[in-house]
């Protein structure tokens, strides 16, 4: 009986150690392969903790983006949003990934949500979100909405070149 108790205690210690290693691997940024494996292992082993899962999915999405795998990054950012629907960064990054993929119709709702969730974000971030959404509106044929976003971006950051260029493309004044 004493051996069984020791074996159970040992397995708990070793199991806890493996879990801790997975979390550490997931949270580091020097070795992306190690990060991907650590986050995946951590996600598989910790399904009950929504906040921890959200962070692990976010870090794994970052690693996927560094590896150039946009589809897996989008899937993980979607998981972040499922676990933490108020995570403005996940919406913003997913919107940026859609933007870089030319999926402008998918950019608009993500950046709208990011702007809504974080109205007091850093000025450069907020101006960039408006500018990118403005370009998405422009690309989807909504010139009036694009002009409004470009002007909003310039109201936040008057030197924001992308919005200045967008207004010129659309024949509008700042």
pLDDT score, position 52: 86
Instruction: Flag whether pLDDT at 6 surpasses 70.
Output: no
> Which of 16-20, 67-71, 157-161 has the weakest average pLDDT?
16-20
pLDDT score, position 150: 98
Reported as a pLDDT band with limits 50, 70 and 90, residue 18 is: very low
In the chain, where the domains are located: 1-67, 86-174
pLDDT score, position 12: 34
Please name the residues in contact with 112: beta carbons below 8 A apart, sequence gap of 6 or more. Answer: 133
pLDDT score, position 45: 87
Instruction: Flag whether pLDDT at 86 surpasses 80.
Output: yes
- CA–CA dist 18, 15 (Å, integer): 5
**pLDDT digit string, tens, across residues 114-149:** 999 999 999 999 999 999 999 999 999 999 999 999
- The stretch 28-46 carries a mean pLDDT of 90
pLDDT score, position 37: 93
pLDDT score, position 20: 61
- Domain 86-174 top-level CATH class: mainly alpha
Cα dist. 92→38, 48, 66 in Å? Answer: 24, 26, 17
- The stretch 54-71 carries a mean pLDDT of 95
- The stretch 102-112 carries a mean pLDDT of 98
pLDDT score, position 16: 40
Cα dist. 7→2, 4, 20, 111 in Å? Answer: 9, 5, 20, 52
DSSP secondary structure string, 30-54? S-HHHHHHHHHHHHHH-TT-HHHHH
- CA–CA dist 53, 44 (Å, integer): 9
- Nearest CA to 157 out of 122, 108, 113, 133 is that of 122
pLDDT score, position 5: 31
């Amino acid at each position: 009986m004493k051996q069984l108790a020791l074996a159970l205690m040992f397995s708990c210690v070793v199991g806890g150690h493996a879990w801790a290693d997975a979390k550490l691997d997931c949270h580091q940024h020097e070795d992306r392969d190690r990060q991907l494996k650590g986050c995946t292992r951590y996600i598989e082993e910790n399904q009950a903790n929504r906040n921890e899962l959200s962070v692990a999915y976010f870090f794994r999405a970052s690693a996927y983006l560094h590896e150039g795998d946009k589809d897996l990054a989008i899937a993980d950012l979607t998981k972040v949003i499922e676990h933490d629907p108020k995570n403005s960064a996940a919406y913003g990054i997913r919107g940026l990934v859609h933007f870089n993929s030319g999926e402008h119709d998918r950019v608009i709702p993500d950046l709208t949500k990011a702007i809504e969730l974080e109205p007091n974000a850093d000025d450069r971030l907020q101006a960039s979100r408006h500018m990118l959404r403005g370009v998405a509106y422009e690309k989807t044929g909504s010139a009036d909405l694009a002009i409004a976003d470009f002007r909003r971006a310039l109201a936040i950051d008057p030197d924001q070149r992308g919005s200045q260029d967008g207004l010129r493309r659309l024949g509008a004044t700042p």
